[in-house]
Amino acid sequence: MRGQDRSGHRLMRARTVLGAALAACIVLVFGAAFSQEGAPVKIVPRLTGTAQPMELDRVPALGRPIVDDVKRMRNYPEQPPVIPHSIDGYQLTLNTNRCMDCHKREFTEGSGAPMISITHFQDRDGQVLSDVTPRRYFCTACHVQQTDVPPLVQNTFQDAKDIGRKR
């Protein structure tokens, strides 16, 4: 207002301008360091697709599913088991889950399939429900079909019992 000292406002405005200039310099310096001639830096190697994003490429054939119905050993505790049979044509929607035709508790005796884990009936608070909890309803979010394809990246996983101290 009138008669008040406005030097504080000028100081605040100077700090704001200085801060904006400093931020712009940081963006320019680091932006130049992280790009080569305007191209983005590759953090991870490309696994599939073409070198240029809009190029057309032949789609590789899908791996053949392993359908021997043999249970595979899990690599670590709490690993979701792989699906040891073909799931081509399985419907997995809000209204239908073909997996439950065999793996739900009521149908395992007739189908011979293993029952889904009791954890699939628990909500996030640990309450046991009478049916599969909605957060565990879409099986392929965690379980994958076993196929005969080579891995995309090198795997150096070692079981905990193999790297611990030997008795």
Q: Which pLDDT tens digit goes with each residue over 114-134?
A: 999 988 999 999 899 999 998
**Which of 31-40, 132-141, 156-165 ranks highest by mean pLDDT?**
132-141
Q: Residue 158: pLDDT above 90? A: no
53 falls within a domain: no
Rounded to two decimals, the pTM is 0.58
Q: Residue 99: pLDDT above 90? A: yes
Which is higher by pLDDT, 12 or 91? 91
pLDDT score for 5: 54
57 falls within a domain: no
Total domains, the chain: 2
Indicate if 33 and 70 belong to the same structural domain: no
Indicate if 31 and 79 belong to the same structural domain: no
Indicate if 27 and 88 belong to the same structural domain: no
Q: Which domain holds residue 85?
A: 64-148
Q: Over the stretch 8-58, which tens digit does the pLDDT of each residue have?
A: 556 566 567 666 667 666 766 565 555 555 556 556 666 666 677 777 877
Q: Residue 161: pLDDT above 60? A: yes
Which is higher by pLDDT, 27 or 74? 74
Q: What average pLDDT is seen over the chain? A: 78
Indicate if 81 and 131 belong to the same structural domain: yes
Cα 11 to chain centroid distance, Å, stands at: 49
Instruction: Judge whether 49 and 57 are in contact, CB under 8 Å.
Output: yes
pLDDT score for 3: 53
Using DSSP's 3-state secondary structure scheme, residue 116 falls into: coil
163 falls within a domain: no
Indicate if 79 and 133 belong to the same structural domain: yes
Domain containing 134 — which CATH number?
1.10.1130.10
166 falls within a domain: no
101 falls within a domain: yes
85 falls within a domain: yes
The answer for residues whose C-beta is within 8 angstroms of residue 60's C-beta and 6 or more apart is 48
25 falls within a domain: yes
Nearest to 103 by CA among 113, 93, 95, 94: 113
Indicate if 74 and 138 belong to the same structural domain: yes
pLDDT score for 12: 61
Indicate if 78 and 26 belong to the same structural domain: no
Q: Residue 91: pLDDT above 90? A: no
pLDDT score for 89: 86
Buried b / exposed e across 90-127, counting CB within 10 Å, b at 16+?
beeeeeebebbebbbeeeeeeeebeebeeebbeeeeee
